[in-house]
């Protein structure tokens, strides 16, 4: 068994993927080929925003968004403590002060109550300017934007939606990557919609911001030429071959795969309902794209021992994430390490992610549940 079986997906989509990739090789437009524009248009329509700017990866997408807003020294950026490193790395790399916020135990996403407390504290201390909330759609479920948006509006903050894991999810039909003032996603192979290398995209409804992002992603170019540079940017383009892979995968993702991962999640819920594992919760009106299926182990179980026994049974498991962001050595001495996040610290010691992918068979889900029940 594989943790995320991309071989089955390729076998299912092989004809279209091979055809799309062969066309790029035959035509030789490896950088900024027509497939990139075609993909951006398809994603714009799917997400329901005006502009999509593709880029080299999800981390660049976050960094470019912060650059477009001029985020830097003296700015406070609020980031969930339980997330992948790049959510905090991107604003910190530009000189911003990252404030780590605790998360909800049932959804793993940023806790709006703790977020507002953190904003008030930064305002009271007066050392940094509150600027941005990085709201991560962790493990596939959108953050609670019904509660986050009013907080952002009240305190005059921008929302950067990190939809790297949430692409394909929605809240009452409004798609992930449409909730932020700028939203981003990743096409890393294991993401809900993945390519065969690195890739990312940025979404916005603001025309001026979109133009600035396109410039920043190609060395700060002007509209005239990439050799006429208006500002300092970076080199962050989505390769045409990766766009071709995504175009081949996208219809199946949109029409089949999001439904199929929800089928698999429902089976896990059914087969594990009689255990004392804490199963992931999806809020009413929310749809998850299930980048991961993550359970919380009871205190009496050793996670290391569970992983060892599952591996012996031929079942891979993963831990996302084993160390709070504020405890990462990279943030030592920055002030960002001064976070009070008891839920995050608990989760980091107890979470375990199980195999999850659209082509997973019922018998395989049952096998994973059976082995867990033995423990």
Same-domain check for residues 230 and 276: no
Residue 200 is assigned to a structural domain of this protein: yes
At residue 313, the pLDDT reads 97
Same-domain check for residues 344 and 266: yes
CATH code of residue 335: 3.90.1150.10
Burial of 183 per CB tally in 10 Å (0-12, 13-18, 19+): buried
CA gap 167, 141 in Å, rounded: 9
Residue 231 is assigned to a structural domain of this protein: yes
pLDDT at position 224 over 90: no
Same-domain check for residues 26 and 147: yes
50: left (phi over 0), alpha (psi -120 to 50) or beta: alpha
pLDDT at position 90 over 90: yes
pLDDT at position 173 over 90: yes
At residue 207, the pLDDT reads 97
Residue 351's beta-bridge partner residues? 296
Same-domain check for residues 37 and 52: yes
43: left (phi over 0), alpha (psi -120 to 50) or beta: alpha
**Which of 233, 249, 265 is at the close of a domain?**
249
CATH code of residue 203: 3.40.640.10
Same-domain check for residues 147 and 71: yes
**Which of 249, 275, 304 is at the close of a domain?**
249
Same-domain check for residues 267 and 202: no
Residue 48 is assigned to a structural domain of this protein: yes
Confidence of residue 336 (pLDDT cuts 50, 70, 90): very high
DSSP state of 50: S
Residue 232's beta-bridge partner residues? none
Same-domain check for residues 245 and 279: no
At residue 254, the pLDDT reads 98
Contact assessment for residue 92 and residue 334, using Cβ atoms and an 8 Å cutoff: yes
Residue 291 is assigned to a structural domain of this protein: yes
Same-domain check for residues 34 and 65: yes
Same-domain check for residues 327 and 198: no
Same-domain check for residues 135 and 234: yes
Same-domain check for residues 51 and 141: yes
pLDDT digits (tens, 9 = 90+) for 260-300: 999 999 999 999 999 999 999 999 999 999 999 999 999 99
The tally of domains found in the chain comes to 2
Query: Helices 112-125 and 145-155: crossing angle, nearest 10°?
Result: 20
Confidence of residue 246 (pLDDT cuts 50, 70, 90): very high
Provide the domain limits for residue 348. Answer: 256-374
CA gap 13, 18 in Å, rounded: 9
Residue 339 is assigned to a structural domain of this protein: yes
Same-domain check for residues 121 and 227: yes
At residue 154, the pLDDT reads 98
pLDDT at position 226 over 90: no
Q: Where are the alpha helices (DSSP H) in the chain?
A: 6-27, 34-47, 58-68, 86-93, 112-125, 145-155, 207-217, 240-252, 258-271, 303-312, 342-350, 362-374
pLDDT digits (tens, 9 = 90+) for 105-139: 999 999 999 999 999 999 999 999 999 999 999 99
Residue 1 is assigned to a structural domain of this protein: no
pLDDT at position 17 over 90: yes
Which tokens is 363 given? 């018998």
pLDDT digits (tens, 9 = 90+) for 339-354: 999 999 999 999 999 9
**Which of 249, 267, 291 is at the close of a domain?**
249
β-pairing, 51-55 vs 200-204, is: antiparallel
CA gap 353, 219 in Å, rounded: 39
- What SS3 state is found at 286? strand
Residue 42 is assigned to a structural domain of this protein: yes
Residue 243 is assigned to a structural domain of this protein: yes
139: left (phi over 0), alpha (psi -120 to 50) or beta: left
Residue 197: phi and psi, rounded to 5, are: 180, -140
């Amino acid at each position: 068994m594989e943790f995320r079986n991309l071989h089955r997906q390729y076998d299912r989509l092989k004809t279209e993927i091979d055809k799309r990739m062969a066309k790029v090789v035959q035509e030789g437009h490896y950088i900024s080929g027509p497939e990139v524009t075609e993909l951006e248009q398809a994603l714009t329509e799917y997400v329901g925003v005006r502009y999509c700017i593709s880029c080299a990866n999800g981390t660049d997408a976050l960094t470019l968004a912060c650059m477009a807003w001029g985020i830097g020294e003296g700015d406070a950026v609020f980031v969930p403590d339980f997330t992948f490193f790049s959510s905090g790395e991107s604003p910190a790399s530009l000189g911003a002060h990252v404030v780590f916020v605790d998360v909800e135990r049932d959804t793993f996403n940023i806790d709006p109550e703790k977020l507002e407390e953190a904003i008030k504290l930064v305002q009271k201390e007066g050392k940094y300017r509150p600027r941005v909330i990085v709201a991560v759609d962790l493990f596939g479920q959108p953050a609670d934007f019904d509660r986050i948006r009013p907080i952002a509006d009240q305190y005059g903050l921008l929302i950067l939606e990190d939809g790297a894991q949430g692409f394909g999810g929605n809240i009452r039909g409004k798609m992930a990557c449409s909730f932020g003032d700028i939203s981003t996603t990743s096409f890393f192979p294991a993401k809900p919609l993945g390519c065969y290398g690195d890739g990312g995209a940025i979404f916005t409804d603001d025309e001026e911001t979109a133009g600035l992002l396109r410039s920043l992603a190609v060395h700060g170019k002007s509209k005239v030429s990439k050799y006429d540079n208006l500002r300092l940017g970076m080199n962050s383009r989505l390769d045409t071959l990766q766009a071709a892979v995504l175009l081949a995968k996208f219809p199946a993702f949109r029409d089949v795969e999001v439904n199929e991962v929800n089928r698999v999640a429902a089976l896990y819920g059914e087969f594990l309902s009689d255990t004392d594992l804490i199963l992931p919760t999806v809020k009413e009106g929310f749809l998850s794209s299930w980048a991961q299926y993550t359970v919380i182990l009871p205190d009496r179980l050793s996670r290391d021992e569970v992983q060892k026994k599952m591996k012996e049974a031929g079942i891979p498991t993963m831990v996302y994430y084993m160390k709070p962001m504020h405890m990462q050595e990279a943030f030592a001495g920055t002030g960002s390490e001064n976070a009070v996040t008891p839920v995050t610290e608990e989760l980091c010691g107890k979470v375990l992610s199980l195999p999850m992918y659209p082509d997973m068979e019922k018998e395989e889900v049952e096998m994973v549940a059976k082995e867990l029940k033995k423990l």
